[in-house]
Structure 1
Amino acid sequence: MEISAIKERLSLSEVLKHYNLQPKNNMLRCFMHDDKTASLQVNLEKNFYKCHACGKTGDVIQFIEDYETSTGSVLSKHEAIKKATLLVDGSRLSVDGKKPTTNNNTRGTAENLGRTNFLGERSALFLENTFSYFRKALYCSNPAKQYIEKRNLDNSILEIGYNSGQFHHGERKSEELIRNALEVGLLLDKGLTYTNYRKTGETDKGGSPNEERQKGYSIFANKCIVFPLKNKENEIVSFYFRSILYPSPLGGRNDGAKHFYLKNRRGIYPGYPKSDTKKLILTEAIIDCASLLQIKEIRDNYSLISCFGTNGLNEEILTAIKDLPELEEIIFCFDQDKAGKTAVEKYSKEFKIYNPKFKISTVELPNNDVNETLQLHSEEIFAELLNNRKDVFLSTEEKKVEKITVTEEKNLRKSVQSVGLFGYAQSDSIDFLQQKDLLQNLNQLIEKAGIIGEENSRLLLFLITISYFNKSPLHGIVQGSSGSGKTHIISRIADLMPQEDVLRFTRITESSLYNWGEFDLFGKIIIIEDLDGLKEDALYALRELISNQILSSLTSIKDKKGNNKSTNKIVKGQFSSLSATTKGELYEDNMNRSFIIAINESEEQTEKIISYQNRRNAGEVDKSEEQKAINFIQKIVRNLKHYEVINPFATQIQLPNNVKNKRRLNEMFQSIIKQITLIHQFQREVKNGFLVTEIEDIENAVEILFESIILKIDELDGSLRQFFEKLKKAFKEESFTRFDAMEVTGFKKTQLQFYLNDLVRLEYLKQIGFANKGFKYKISYSDNIQKVRKDLKEAFNKQLEELKKKK
């Protein structure tokens, strides 16, 4: 059993009961030192303890280790975990860790018989009814439906449910349901209580009106999709749960956990194979098995069983296989990583020893696992992959399994080069991520997808957007004048992402963000096409989600009896976002939390865009090639996994002192370094589960983020700075009218006047004359932004050179 599962199932209150410890007001005398007054606090809700005298703290496993050590036993961490596992399994242990002798009195026998009976018919009936509820809950949950759609699972064919954590609420709630749920492990007793407010006028026996204390429970495998495990009689005897939230948004003990099973796991997915089975497919994971199960051709010609991981071909599965009298062939459909291939080799030898007549074969997938292959290819690929499966025990094999067999994808394959589309097969997307000049090649690929020019900006926006699967996602605001293409670029960047994860809004009302479900904005990309259309309340809510990843609001609702009651509405938002605005200075609070990207409004960029538009209208741009590039980039994004990143050089490179909001910008600078490290995850060292940053990542971050840092230093926002630089170049010390400025800059009257007024307000321009005769303007402050840029670049280069010397 995994440590995360032990901590989920074993409560601190159960451990305290085991050691006959009874805290008073959640306090105990600390057993780690001579404690005359109770100084050790136990938090039964969050399952941790802390001594306020000696500072000792830990979870349930650490408590077992510390307490046993204090009694004179020498208990290692491994032994503490083993003892915790026994407690989870319901074994009653003495303090020395040994099982007590069985008391064979009448009462004990009756309890054992009752428990045996429950684990039979009563258990199966309860689990069947519960799974029926889970299936209905799936249809009512948008996040769950989106998750299975993302995994390309068809719930109209497959048996899939969803644990929303509500199965024991409302009219369903009863003492019997609670008892059964506790018995199978769907509910966990953590010693929690809560106050239930009743109708006015009702009192308890003591005369206290309107409230009563009720027991609360922790929900096992909350916010998970559910698959049933079945016995030989085709009865549901257990469940497998897969979290739809990963990394876990809850923090604490379950952070990062994604697979859960009920205690005393038994049963097979999708069920015991038919006795006349001749060809049996074994998959490594249940979702892989479900992916194949929904394909009619496979259902009609093969039986399927899912193992529980590479070490999960257990005794029940082996027995079921050995009971198949007509079985001729076992086909492994395991993952393509080292662990999967090692497991296939190991189990193949064992099956061959058991029955030398068995044919043992393996399917070589074009992707890491079955479900990834289903997501990125049509179902037809599996028929051909199975037809070309490889005999494990053939020493020579002339015919190799083709990794890509779909004709269209064969035609798209190209050799890996520094330019071009690099091929579009999934295996090529891994090759792509392993290239030396990854960022340069990715930037060229983004251009192939239809984003012209804006080389550093588009790459920065891409890095910001793919941070949505991180625990601390990033946010970007694109600023530019009206018609400059700011909305276009964020929309096209969004097109490069998996579309099931993208939410696009043209308008957000004041209360709309508060009305999402608790996890509806978790692991998403939010695109706001016009930030200018948001009112202050909506901007405030957006800022809170960006800063704290949570919105909490007290609101009134009606219960089932029509009574008003207050409730705390929670929305958790772990998402990356891109938005566009013409009025950057109005959103300083938002900009402090976001990267600022200015649209390039130069004549050179305009020429690039016009040239592209003309070529597209002339039919010289192949739209299908653009779409292929988009699809390939989406495959690249899907191949990226979440890692925590360590930057060993973080203390050795500093931002300049003249940067505004240096504290926030420094964190953002480090975040981009992490993103660049993450996208190089197939090339970087993994140390203790952390990706390690290299100096090359810092160099790339400086290059990509340089313009955004300049915008943080500059008093003028991006489009206003570009406007002012045009005026400086054209007029220097000469006075000019707004018509002169219009001719030089190409801006229309309204936008031009807006910029002129801003520059006068900021004292960069001096306004001369009177309104009735027409104002003239003269440059009053000619700052040298180019010198600032040069000095900043030199400062960064100097620090990078120092890093390279130390290395």
Structure 2
Amino acid sequence: MEIQDIKQNLFLTQVLENYSLQPNKNNMLRCPFHEDKTASLQINPTQNKYKCHACDKKGDVIQFVQDYEKLTKHEALKKCTAMIGTIQPIQKATPTEAKETLISSKERTAFIEKIFASFKNASSRSQPAKDYLQQRNLDLKKIEVGYNGGQFHHGQRKEDSLIQNCLAYGLLIDNNRKGNTGEIVYTVFGKYGIVFPLKNQDNQIVSLYFRNTLDKENAKHFYLKNRQGLYPNYPNPATKILILTEAIIDCASLLQIDEINENYSLLACYGTNGLNEEILKAIKNLDQLEEIIFFFDGDKAGKEAGKKYSEVLRTLQQTIKISQVETPEYEDVNSLIIGHEKEILIHLIDQRKEIIERNEAISSFCSASSLSLGSIEEKTVLKPTEDKPKPLNLENTVDFLKQNNLLQKLNILIEKSGIIGEENSRLLLFIIASSYKTKQPLHAIVQGSSGSGKTHLISKIADLMPQEDVLRFTRITESSLYNWGEYDLVNKLLIIEDLDGLKEEAMFAMRELISNQRLSSSVSVKDKKGNIKSVKKEVKGVFSSLSATTKGDLYEDNMSRSFLLAVDESQDQTDKIINYQNKRIAGEINEKEQEKAKIQLQQIMRILQNEEVQNPFATQIQLPENVHKKRRLNEMFQSIIKQITILNQFQRTSNNGKIQTEIQDVENAVEILFESIILKIDELDGSLRQFFEKLKKKFKTDDFTRFEAMETTGFKKTQLQHYINQLVQLEYIKQFGHGNKGFKYKISYFDDIQSVRKKLKEHFTKQIQNLKPNTNGNQTNTKRTLEMS
């Protein structure tokens, strides 16, 4: 028998049992090769190898036999060959015999561990597997996962014993059909699925769970027949706090977070009806258990499952605390780790609430729900419940994000959601809002006169983000920002409808959160004995914000930290809005299509990941010299380029784990930011500039009165007088005459803002054109990607 044949048919776990050596549940045992007081020999069943961490003995199953019995290599090979015949005879059988033969649990375990090892190797080599795991934000280095490409029984691996075992355990299904070559064609169970191992109390893989990577509606979850074992393993007997998740992929998501993995034990249920007998028995044996936490989905079925199972668990552990994490609606653990930083999961667990025990008897509950501790319904394929919302269609969303001219497509979708006009501003606001999940979120102040629609605009943009991540405020009191929980404002989008209503203390707190991303305060609290002591309270402010104001000039410090946008108050924009309003009232607007566009944009935000970005052009493009607060604006400008690259992450290449900015991203950023940069240069804010341009166009050399200005601009008395006073103070217009007869005004300074705009445009165009020949040697001009409707 060849050495390779011995390794394939003789397992180290069997050899250890033959020598009466029993590893513990962590696959550790006292090393037989030196005097060992504590278990230092590590067994790796999947690789069929061992290693001692003390004496450094290591090798495969043949080497173990050679070392244990002190044999020569040739003698060890003969001994192993004999063991194959006595320990575990491998008998060839027909497919019918394989199905009818009861194979020992040890043989099953050895085979399942071996087959999972091949799946595990495939996961690191298969691009579809790596793509799916990346979409799910699952890290191959942190979790044990495989991939079933359906090829494990082909090629050199194809042998009769393998086929028979696969048929016996359900990995292959014989459909009594032959192919063109005359060979039997088998159906592969769980094909194109990522694979998770289910383990027994001895930490051995005894079954497998397959999660379809194609995301088919009614065929997502597959378990081998005669399912057994738990994921990720049996809890440590010393467990004090146990987290139960609704699904295996949710449990895997939590396993990646060190802070959670180190402080809690984790166990996956098999759906909302999947708290089975094996899980219950494992929990019952946890003598030191103090608390069970349900971290189920945020839908109705997930919320109710925690409540109903709390009744069952109290019959097993009378004194333990049972809590439930308040998962946001339409979210589960995996979607949260896709769309947010890990801190949000830690925060949700910290904010869990205890489930209040109901008065109904457990027997009544079991009767009503047809539930018994010894028999809980299990299905090979778990279908979504009727109450569960339609899951995120990852495949369609990714296809959308792979389109060329993505920003243009997003802008069209934004318009379909009901935001009329404001083509450039709405796209910039969407990009800024979408940064709320990043480590350096962006901020914007939208400035306009009263009734110009500024609050409506930021509110509509907020509607396009996942609503569980949006916080809307009409006003913020002086100290309220200091009173939030430490992570309550992390990865959130804040909407401040009226910045003018914030008092100075609230404005200061807001500036600190934007600049330093935290607020620290010393507060007095009472300890358990009633003594007053001072403690440090911290609020982390990793959020994005959109604010509206009529008085942009009053918020110099805030404006320097935020992008400034002006509402379009032109007659053309007014006509667009009125036309839309009339169509909506007449029933000519398809509101279902608007809602569909909103949901699609929310799905896009949920699937986008917070990627690291490398911008090779960062040192090669400069802002103009006369820009206001150049240092801060340059950082904001680079941040917009970064965020545009993140939006294009499914089209960008990766280098050392960072997605690479392309010249189109820089060009798009300049185009989108152009008006905001103009406002940074201009001495007049957005609304005042629009007001002054109307006066310049109408009264080039003529005097005018306040009433004539009102008729020309359309502004009412209070707002108009405020603007006139500002222009007089800045010496753009001159006031003369007497108050009792009515003042007259004349334009005294004709600044040429159009010339400034032209020079700025040329400034950026020249730099970008110089960069284009350096990208892949392409001398042709890049087509403009922002063709607004």
Length-normalised TM-score, structure 2: 0.54
2:517 matches 1:549: yes
The match for 1:224 is: none
Q: CA deviation at 1:275?
A: 7.7
User: Which protein is bigger by CA-based radius of gyration?
Assistant: 2
State how 1:731-742 maps to structure 2 within 5 Å.
731-742=699-710
Report the Cα offset of residue 562 of structure 1.
2.4
Q: Secondary structure at the match of 1:773?
A: coil
CA distance in 2, matches of 1:468, 1:723: 33
Structure 2 distance, partners of 1:797, 1:776, is: 43
Out of 462, 479, 498, which is 1:530 matched to? 498
CA displacement at 1:641 relative to structure 2: 0.3
Question: Which letter maps to 2:711?
Answer: E
Moved more, 711-720 or 228-237: 228-237
- 8 Å CA contact 1:229, 1:269 repeated in 2: no
1:719 to 670, 687, 694: 687
How far apart in 2 are the matches of 1:591 and 1:241? 46
State the distance in 2 between where 1:272 and 1:788 align. 68
- Whether the aligned pair in 2 keeps the contact of 1:519 and 1:571 (CA below 8 Å) is yes
Deviations 1:432-480 (A, max 9, x none): 1110011011001001101000011000000111111111110000000
Q: Quick one: distance in 2 between partners of 1:534 and 1:463? A: 25
CA RMSD between the two structures: 4.4
**Alpha-carbon deviation of 1:530?**
0.2
What secondary structure does 1:651 align onto? coil
Contact 1:549 1:573 in 2 (8 A): yes
Aligned with 1:577 (options 533, 539, 545) = 545
After superposition, residues 292-441 of structure 1 pair within 5 angstroms as: 372=335, 425-441=393-409
Q: Does 1:776 align with 2:744?
A: yes
* Alpha-carbon distance change, 559 to 777 in structure 1, aligned in 2, over 3 angstroms: same
Paired position in structure 2 for 1:261? 261
The 2-side partners of 1:718 and 1:600 are apart by 9
CA distance in 1, matches of 2:53, 2:390: 60
* C-alpha contact 1:230 1:236 (8 A) present in aligned 2: no
Query: 2:624 is matched with which residue?
Result: 656
> Where does residue 786 of structure 1 map in the other structure?
754
- Aligned match of 2:655 in 672, 687, 695? 687
Give aligned-pair identity as a percent. Answer: 60
- Structure 1 contact 239–262 (Cα < 8 Å) conserved: no
Mapping of residues 71-86 of structure 1, within 5 Å: none
1:669 corresponds to which residue? 637
| Relative contact order, higher structure (CA 8 A, sep 6+) | 2
| Residue from 697, 704, 708 that aligns with 2:672 | 704
TM-superposition CA deviations, 1:58-98 (whole Å, max 9, x none): xxxxxxxxxxxxxxxxxxxxxxxx9xxxxxxxx9988x999
Q: Distance in 2 between matches of 1:409 and 1:735?
A: 64
Distance 1:619 1:661, change over 3 A: same
Please tell me whether residue 636 in structure 1 is matched to residue 604 in structure 2. yes
2:243–2:266: 8 Å Cα contact kept in structure 1?
Answer: no
CA contact (8 A) 1:238 1:265 kept: yes
Contact kept, 8 Å, 2:338 with 2:608, in 1: the verdict is no
Partner of 2:704, secondary structure, is coil
For the residues of structure 1 that align with 2:580 and 2:266, how far apart are their CA atoms?
61
Secondary structure, counterpart of 2:619 in structure 1 = helix
- Partner amino acid, structure 2, of 1:645: V
Is residue 236–residue 267 contact of structure 1 (8 Å, CA) maintained in 2? no
Give the Cα–Cα distance (whole angstroms) in 2 for the partners of residues 570 and 373 of structure 1. 23
Deviation at 1:558, TM superposition (A): 2.1
Q: Counterpart in 2 of 1:467? A: 435
Cα deviation for residue 673 of structure 1 reads: 0.2
Alpha-carbon displacement from aligned partner over 1:602-650 (angstroms, at most 9, x marks no partner): 1111111011001001100011211111111100110100011110000
How far off its partner does 1:802 sit? 0.2
Q: Does 1:610 align with 2:578?
A: yes
Deviation string for 1:235-277 (max 9, x for gaps)? 95885699xxxxxxxxxxx9x9567434998977679954899
Cα–Cα, structure 1 residues 794 and 241, in superposed 2: closer, same or farther, change >3 Å? farther
Matched letter for residue 456 of structure 2: H
Q: What is the alpha-carbon distance in structure 1 between the residues aligned to residue 296 and residue 389 of structure 2? A: 26
Partner of 1:458: 426
1:497 corresponds in structure 2 to 465
2:17 — aligned with what?
none
Q: Give the 3-state SS of the residue equivalent to 1:440 in structure 2.
A: helix
Alpha carbons 2:433, 2:546 under 8 Å: kept? yes
Does structure 2 retain, via aligned residues, the 8 Å contact 1:239–1:261? no
**1:241–1:259 contact (8 Å) kept in structure 2:** no
Contact (CA 8 Å) 1:232, 1:272: kept in 2 or not? no
Maintained 8 Å contact 1:237/1:267: no
| Contact 1:655 1:666 (8 Å CA) reproduced | yes
Q: CA separation of 1:629/1:657 partners in 2, compared to 1, >3 Å: closer, same or farther? A: same
Report how far residue 588 of structure 1 moved: 0.4
Paired residues of 1:228 and 1:239 also in contact (CA < 8 A): no
1:650 and 1:701 map into 2 onto residues whose CA distance is: 12
Structure 2, gaps ≥5 residues long? 1-41, 43-50, 59-135, 137-229, 246-253, 281-292, 306-329, 340-376, 776-789
Kindly state the Cα deviation for residue 559 of structure 1 after the two structures are TM-superposed: 2.1
Whether contact under 8 Å (1:478, 1:597) holds in the other structure is: yes
Is the deviation greater in 510-519 or in 562-571? 562-571
Q: Which residue of 1 aligns with 2:480?
A: 512
For residue 261 of structure 1, what is the amino acid of its counterpart? Answer: N
* Contact 2:296–2:332 under 8 Å retained in 1: no
In the alignment, structure 1 segments of 5+ residues that lack a partner are 1-81, 83-90, 100-150, 152-226, 243-253, 278-286, 300-366, 377-382, 390-402, 411-423
Matched, 1:447 2:440: no
For residue 432 of structure 2, what is the amino acid of its counterpart?
I
Distance 1:267 1:553 in 2: 38
Aligned partner of 1:86 in structure 2 is none
CA distance in 2, matches of 1:671, 1:374: 23
Cα displacement (A) at 1:233: 12
Q: Distance in 1 between matches of 2:590 and 2:389?
A: 16
Shift of 1:574: 0.5
Q: Output the amino acid matched with 1:604.
A: D
How many equivalent pairs are there? 472
Q: 1:513 is paired with a residue of what secondary structure?
A: helix
Alignment of 1:188-199 (within 5 A): none
Deviates more, 1:425-434 or 1:468-477: 425-434
